[in-house]
Amino acid sequence: MGNTIEEKAYLAKQASVHLATVSTDLKNKALKAMAEELLNSKQQILDANQKDLEEAAKQKAAGTLSASLFDRLKLSDAKFNDMVCGVSDVAKLEDPVGKTLSTVVLDEGLTLYQISCPIGVIGVIFEARPDVVAQVMSLCLKSGNATIFKGGSEAKNSNRILFDTLIRALSKVPEIPTEAFHLAESREDVAKMLDMDNYIDLLIPRGSNDFVKYIQDNTRIPVLGHSSGICHAYVDEDADLVLAQKVCLDSKIQYPAACNAIETLLIHEKIADKFLPPMAEIYAQNGVELRLDDAAEKVMKKAGSRVSFTKASDKDWDSEYNDLILSIKIVSSADNAIHHINRHGSHHTDVILSQNQKTIGKFTGLVDSGNVMVNASSRFSDGFRYGKGAEVGISTNKIHSRGPVGMEGLMIYKYILSGSGQVVANYTGTGAKKYIHRRTDEKYCRLQ
């Protein structure tokens, strides 16, 4: 408890190899204990949260804490129950550890197994939302990863009691090394964590875009996340316009603050006259502020539309509004749309509306984004909707994991070569034995 962050990280690393080998049953037993202990301590946890809220209310009044941060800090009854259910649900997820990913017989009696295993130590740095502690600890436990949490100071009482409650639950299953989990509390610890590439294998930041960007820019540890979500919908000349209208509306208004809501609508010039004026009317009815390029403005004037809008500036194409604002641009081809998306987008989620399979093929092939939606809302880009059971984050990285990431993003693999005295000398030079390299479905079985 009184340990420095360096000591905590060292202990987490040591414990991580042991946590990696804990059986599924024991991990599930611990998850159940975690859910129970949270319920047993509900009142104390809500009291601690209340303390944080009182302090935060003062800061909010003084203008040093935003209303949205205040909301995220609050553990309502519903949020508390969701949190407990979330922990229980992780027990139901398949254990991702120890799966045989591939098996190759190199030679008779010499078999290579590729086995999934945890990454090691995950650093989680988050703002406000104290329920992150329970959510991430349950996912890391199930996937066998040690974890160091660093929450925002605004939630210090909530984080501390949640962490202590969960550790108390873990300690009821003696085979689980509780030293695998640590809570860092001082502000200086963040900078130290960003430097600990010898101990921390992966960082997961949870918070505002600026917060994630700061983490990404100040560490050599791999970061799982995304710092912006500039998503697009492109309405092709061969789109079903009724269908397109539905999807374009949902992609913008279903939850405009989300990273997977669209910020820019691209419309093919051939269907702009037919599509844009009624679409603009619908957006306006739903409170969406529109920012149009010159060509779109002409289309609206030509149609005699009375929907109000402003002119889009160059800055708009690179803006994430996270709000009921949408920029609209007319393009002369699918290629132009693709070029615009690859240049201005954040490679997160982009949508094509088209009934032309060739155009769809071009778009899905050339748009360099983690998620490409064909005739479906951008808002589907989400771990739960994708059926992952739980979402660790949405990644715009080009290595390891991309798009909505579930527990698979917390996994790596090791190779285990099982032999009976084979040496490389026999496979080289004159009279060398030959490798077979035969793939099989055989699973690796590790005695414990």
Structure tokens, 381? 């880009």
Q: At closest approach, how far in Å is the CB of 110 from its own copies? A: 6
Q: How far apart are CA 425 and CA 446, in angstroms?
A: 28
Q: At closest approach, how far in Å is the CB of 207 from its own copies? A: 20
Check residue 373 for interaction with its own copies (CB under 8 A).
Answer: yes
DSSP 282-302: HHHHTT-EEEE-HHHHHHHHH
Q: How far apart are CA 28 and CA 51, in angstroms?
A: 32
Side-chain-side CA neighbours of residue 215 (13 Å)? 27
**By C-beta, is 106 or 324 nearer to its own copies?**
106
Stretch binding its own copies (CB under 8 A), from 47-55, 264-272, 314-322, 364-372: 364-372
Q: At closest approach, how far in Å is the CB of 121 from its own copies? A: 9
Check residue 427 for interaction with its own copies (CB under 8 A).
Answer: yes
Q: At closest approach, how far in Å is the CB of 308 from its own copies? A: 25
Q: At closest approach, how far in Å is the CB of 26 from its own copies? A: 14
Residues 242-261 touching its own copies, rule: CB under 8 A, are 243, 246-247, 249-250, 254-255
Binding-site size for its own copies (CB under 8 A) equals 80
With CB under 8 A as the contact rule, the residue among 5, 35, 93, 119 that binds its own copies is: 119
Residues 252-311 touching its own copies, rule: CB under 8 A, are 254-255
Q: At closest approach, how far in Å is the CB of 197 from its own copies? A: 9
Q: How far apart are CA 115 and CA 117, in angstroms?
A: 6
Of 364, 354, 403, residue with least CA distance to 382: 403
Side-chain-side CA neighbours of residue 355 (13 Å)? 7
| 3-19: b (≥16 Cβ within 10 Å) or e | eebeebbbbbbebbeeb
Check residue 214 for interaction with its own copies (CB under 8 A).
Answer: no
**How buried is residue 191: exposed, middle or buried, by Cβ count under 10 Å (0-12/13-18/19+)?**
exposed
Q: Crossing angle for the helix pair 156-170 and 131-142, nearest 10 degrees?
A: 30
- Contact assessment for residue 237 and residue 271, using Cβ atoms and an 8 Å cutoff: yes
Residues 23-52 touching its own copies, rule: CB under 8 A, are none
Check residue 213 for interaction with its own copies (CB under 8 A).
Answer: no
**By C-beta, is 67 or 399 nearer to its own copies?**
399
- Contact assessment for residue 413 and residue 406, using Cβ atoms and an 8 Å cutoff: no
**By C-beta, is 78 or 423 nearer to its own copies?**
423
With CB under 8 A as the contact rule, the residue among 331, 372, 392, 407 that binds its own copies is: 372
Left, alpha or beta for 128 (phi > 0: left; psi -120 to 50: alpha)? left
Q: At closest approach, how far in Å is the CB of 138 from its own copies? A: 20
With CB under 8 A as the contact rule, the residue among 39, 46, 222, 282 that binds its own copies is: 222
Check residue 422 for interaction with its own copies (CB under 8 A).
Answer: yes
Of 25, 39, 139, residue with least CA distance to 89: 139
Task: Say which DSSP state 177 is in.
Answer: -
**By C-beta, is 45 or 367 nearer to its own copies?**
367
Residues 389-418 touching its own copies, rule: CB under 8 A, are 398-400, 402-404, 412-418
**By C-beta, is 81 or 357 nearer to its own copies?**
357
**By C-beta, is 260 or 264 nearer to its own copies?**
260
Q: How far apart are CA 344 and CA 368, in angstroms?
A: 11
Check residue 342 for interaction with its own copies (CB under 8 A).
Answer: yes
Check residue 104 for interaction with its own copies (CB under 8 A).
Answer: yes
Tell me the C-alpha to C-alpha distance, in Å, between residue 53 and each of 62, 65, 131, 132, 206.
14, 11, 14, 17, 20
Cα angle 430-433-438, degrees, rounded to a multiple of 5: 150
Check residue 374 for interaction with its own copies (CB under 8 A).
Answer: yes
Stretch binding its own copies (CB under 8 A), from 26-34, 74-82, 112-120, 125-133: 112-120
**By C-beta, is 91 or 353 nearer to its own copies?**
353
With CB under 8 A as the contact rule, the residue among 15, 48, 360, 390 that binds its own copies is: 360
